[in-house]
A and B are shown apart, each in its own frame.
Chain A
Amino acid sequence: MVSVTAATGQESKIVEDATLQVLDTAAASGITAQELDRATRQLRARMVFENDSVTNLGHQLGYFSTVTNLDTYAALPDRIGAVTTDDVARVARTYLTESNRTVGWFEPVLDS
């Protein structure tokens, strides 16, 4: 999910168009090797940060055993390291499509 908050005075349509353009660029051209490297490092760091207490470890184990299995959890660092820019481009092309997209605006009711 992508969430954007418009600055005061900005029209939602303009903000939506700018957001979609970023998604469309990813779908059309994929990402650079540098962007992949950064995301990989971030995810590896996040895995370390998320294992820093028994509570967080419990969350991780519970989450992975619910949505998949604990082997996936153990294999995460290797799996993340194996992702290529081609993989990301393929996934972006497959899923970041107009037909697969739901867009909602949440706008304030102005006092009259």
Chain B
Amino acid sequence: MNMPTSGLVGLNPTTTILPNGVRLLAKQTGTTPAVTISLTVRAGSVHDPLELPGVAFLLSRVIDRGTSGWSADEIAEALDIRGVSLRVAVTRHTLSISCDCLAEDFDTVLQLLADVVRNPVIPENELVTRRGEVLTAIRQDQDSPATVAMERLMKLLYGATHPYGQPTKGTPASLGQMGRDRLQPFHREHFAPGGLSVVVVGDVMSDHVAEVVTEAFGSWEPRTNDVRPPESPEPATTRRRVVIPMMNKSQSDIGYGFTTVARADPEYYAYWLMSNIFGQYGMGGRLGQSIRERQGMAYYAFCGFEAGVIAGPLIVRAGVSGDNVDKAVASIDAEVASLAADGVTDDELANSQRYLTGSLPRQLETNAGIAAFLQEVQQFDLGLDYDLRVRDLIDRVTRDQVNEAARLTLAPERAAVVIAGPYQDSTDDQVG
């Protein structure tokens, strides 16, 4: 069932590096007269000052609210009239601005986005409004057992002083101290041409893209923002468990996790397959089968795996009624122990390999999908032919490699466990 790779042209994007360090990948497509523009800067939440989490996130909320050349209303109007909605997102390592526009609007929209990236003025009145919105979002998060459990789990896995242990949106207290005097220095320090990756996918010639991007970013003074990434955490040696009672809720959310490997680790593909078999394939892999389907005790049960710049987490998530918390945790423990001890079957591995390779074309179906894929290629230096090689990288993984990944990672006695919801017990190591 393996897809033949020989003879395929692949995405074959055009790559350009401007003299000031801006990296551009352009891919011309002709499905529709539209273009996806994606700008990613190495300015994610790991760069927040430790005592002030949430700076990158608040900046992302206010960055498009006025530049030295355009007022907030002018930007909104210019985008609105072209049917363009900006997507601004912050991850641990990046802040990205992307949008879809009509091909005829590409030049104008790209110039406008460049101004947003390079010259935001962060007006005080806009900052006050956006800070209020973020505060509301934080309050909503604090009222959601699933979000509370995830934030606490990241703190357990990485530690309270590690950037991965901090809440991306910040806290009510940190937001209160966040004025322009904190956002502008963050922008000056972390927004630099050497840390900018531009990806353009759509109905526009690559040569023209390079011209417009050069015009928009070429005059930006050369600078890099190479910052050493945070250290990967030491592997855990003990089980840690935290219960956060939220007695007015109807459902408890369980977060159960381990740290794994970095994206650049050669065993990444074995971990990817292991997590797919464990908690994703079909309806939540083995976890979904056991906890949701067979025992019927959870509203949902699956696992997520996110290998990044440093060792990323593998996190099991389950939503259960308060009565089923203990049984669900015991079942997760049993599945974790079983996969570590007995490994996966040939069928499971073949199914997951087929699923992952088979879902790739769908990922590359839209301009936005291709742009996201190419940003990942840039960020992790995967090579311009990665779309052609990735099938083989997945298919070459052996059962022994997957079993070794499970054996090294999965162990109930080293798990971090957080329960948030209508649940209390007296055996907790700690609460809150």
Q: Which residues of A contact B (CB under 8 A)?
A: 5-8, 37-38, 41-46, 48-49, 51-56, 108-109, 111
Contacts and interface: CB of A to CB of B under 8 A. Distances in A.
A8 B136 contact: yes
B102 A48 contact: yes
Contacts of A111: 247-248
A74 B282 CA distance: 36
B61 to A, nearest CB: 13
Nearest to A37: B81
B219 to A, nearest CB: 30
A42 B83 contact: yes
Given A8-B135, A45-B84, A52 B143 contact: no
B36 to A, nearest CB: 9
Interface stretch (B48-56, B159-167, B359-367): B359-367
Contact of B136 (A7, A48, A51): A7
Given A8-B135, A49-B34, A55 B81 contact: no
B376 interface: no
B197 to A, nearest CB: 22
The 6 A-B pairs of least Cβ separation, nearest first, read: A45-B83, A42-B83, A53-B365, A53-B366, A52-B32, A7-B132
Interface centre among A5, A43, A49, A55 (most CB of B within 10 A): A49
A48 B32 contact: yes
A77 to B, nearest CB: 13
B82 interface: yes
B133 A7 contact: yes
A40 B132 CA distance: 32
A49 to B, nearest CB: 5
A51 B32 contact: yes
A44 B83 contact: yes
A45 B362 contact: no
Given A8-B139, A109-B248, A55 B362 contact: yes
Given A8-B132, A56-B366, 11 more contacts: A7-B132, A42-B80, A44-B83, A45-B34, A45-B83, A45-B84, A45-B102, A46-B83, A48-B32, A52-B366, A108-B143
B248 A54 contact: no
Nearest to B103: A48
Contacts of A56: 366
A42 B100 CA distance: 12
Nearest to A108: B143
Contacts of A109: 248
Contacts of B31: 52-53
B33 interface: yes
13 contacts: A7-B135, A8-B135, A37-B81, A38-B80, A41-B81, A41-B82, A48-B102, A49-B83, A52-B100, A53-B369, A54-B365, A55-B365, A109-B248
Nearest to A56: B366
Contacts of A46: 83
B80 A48 contact: no
A54 B82 CA distance: 24
Nearest to A50: B32
B34 A52 contact: yes
B101 interface: yes
Contacts of A54: 365
Nearest to A49: B100
Contacts of B366: 52-53, 56
Interface in B11-66: 31-34
Nearest to B31: A52
A53 B366 CA distance: 6
B2 to A, nearest CB: 22
Contact of B82 (A45, A51, A53, A108): A45
Contacts of B365: 53-55
Contacts of A41: 81-83
Contacts of B34: 45, 48-49, 52
